């Protein structure tokens, strides 16, 4: 049964300042778990309010301030604009929250790029950009350089000179392919593959970030709707109780007459 003549308890400025001061000082706790931070603030400030009341009030005030910082439009929550201390603490909380969120997004982007480079190295076998492979021979810095060594053996009258033997060995180890190619063609192909890989990684990162932002907005909007409905319900209960009291007075007056 609803309580008769129920009226929500008004928030005192000192009460709000104490709670916001605790959250501002313990911002990391608020960022990781707002409900726990509100519970701790209640224990510290010795408030008699419930966790739903404290969390709802803090959440609404932070949302109002965040909207104001993004759009420049003020809502009807007058206490924020009337008290400088409350305004400054809410502004600091919102600023730190947005900075932290941006840092986490940037960190995720860097990790994605690092994973992309690692994946490219796995695909190319760790071969550098200026490396060319010809018939299984790795040639660095766009220069074909082949060194052969043949163990020294006693010279005989039938042996060819050492220089001739080195050239013959080189001809056996290196055969130029019949298909024409150039360093520019290889670089172009390499760059296209790199761009495709980076584009794919960026798409995945954007998809994850957008999903997180959408979820976060849905939760915030749902919470705001819940507290709005709660406030409307309380107002309706007060109106019903008032009408019941008037009806009682009317019946009593009628009986007396």
pLDDT per residue as tens digits for the range 164-202: 444 444 444 444 444 455 666 766 776 777 777 777 777
**If 0-12 CB within 10 Å is exposed, 13-18 middle and 19+ buried, where does residue 61 land?**
buried
* pLDDT tier for residue 95 given thresholds of 50, 70 and 90: very high
User: For a pLDDT cut of 70, what percent of the chain falls above it?
Assistant: 59
Q: Helix H segments across the chain?
A: 13-25, 27-32, 34-45, 51-71, 78-82, 84-124, 162-173, 183-256
Q: Return d(Cα 22, Cα 131) in angstroms, integer.
A: 59
| pLDDT confidence of residue 89 | 92
Indicate whether 101 pLDDT > 70: yes
Q: What angle do CA 219, 223, 226 make, to 5 degrees?
A: 140
Read off the pTM: 0.41
Strands 132-134 and 137-139: antiparallel
> Quick one: average pLDDT of 148-174?
44
**pLDDT tens figures, 15-58:** 889 999 999 999 998 888 988 989 988 888 888 888 898 898 89
**pLDDT tens figures, 55-73:** 988 999 999 999 998 888 8
**pLDDT tens figures, 224-250:** 777 787 778 788 888 888 887 777 776
Question: Mean pLDDT over all residues of the chain?
Answer: 71
Q: Return d(Cα 70, Cα 85) in angstroms, integer.
A: 20
Q: Where are the domains of the chain?
A: 13-122+200-256, 127-149+159-181
Query: What token pair was written down for 3?
Result: 């309580």
> Quick one: average pLDDT of 96-112?
80
Question: What is the distance between the terminal CA atoms of the chain, rounded to a whole angstrom?
Answer: 32
């Amino acid at each position: 049964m609803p309580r008769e003549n129920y009226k929500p308890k008004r928030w005192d400025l000192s009460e709000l300042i104490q709670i916001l001061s605790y959250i501002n000082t313990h911002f990391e706790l608020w960022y990781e778990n707002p409900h726990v931070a509100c519970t701790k603030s209640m224990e510290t400030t010795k408030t008699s309010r419930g966790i739903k009341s404290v969390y709802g009030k803090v959440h609404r005030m932070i949302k109002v301030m965040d909207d104001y910082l993004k759009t420049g439009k003020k809502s009807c929550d007058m206490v924020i604009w009337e008290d400088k201390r409350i305004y400054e603490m809410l502004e600091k909380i919102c600023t730190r929250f947005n900075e932290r969120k941006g840092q986490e997004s940037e960190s995720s982007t860097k990790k994605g790029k690092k994973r992309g480079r690692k994946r490219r190295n796995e695909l190319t076998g760790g071969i550098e950009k200026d490396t060319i492979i010809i018939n299984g021979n790795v040639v660095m810095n766009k220069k074909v350089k082949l060194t052969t060594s043949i163990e020294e053996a006693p010279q005989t009258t039938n042996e060819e000179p050492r220089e001739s033997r080195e050239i013959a060995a080189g001809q056996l180890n290196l055969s130029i392919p019949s298909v024409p190619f150039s360093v520019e063609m290889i670089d172009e192909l390499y760059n296209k593959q790199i761009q495709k890989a980076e584009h794919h990684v960026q798409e995945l990162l954007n998809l994850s970030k957008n999903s997180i932002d959408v979820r976060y907005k849905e939760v915030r909007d749902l919470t705001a709707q819940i507290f709005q409905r709660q406030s409307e319900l309380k107002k309706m209960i007060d109106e019903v109780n008032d009408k019941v009291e008037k009806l009682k007075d009317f019946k009593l007056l009628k009986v007396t007459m």
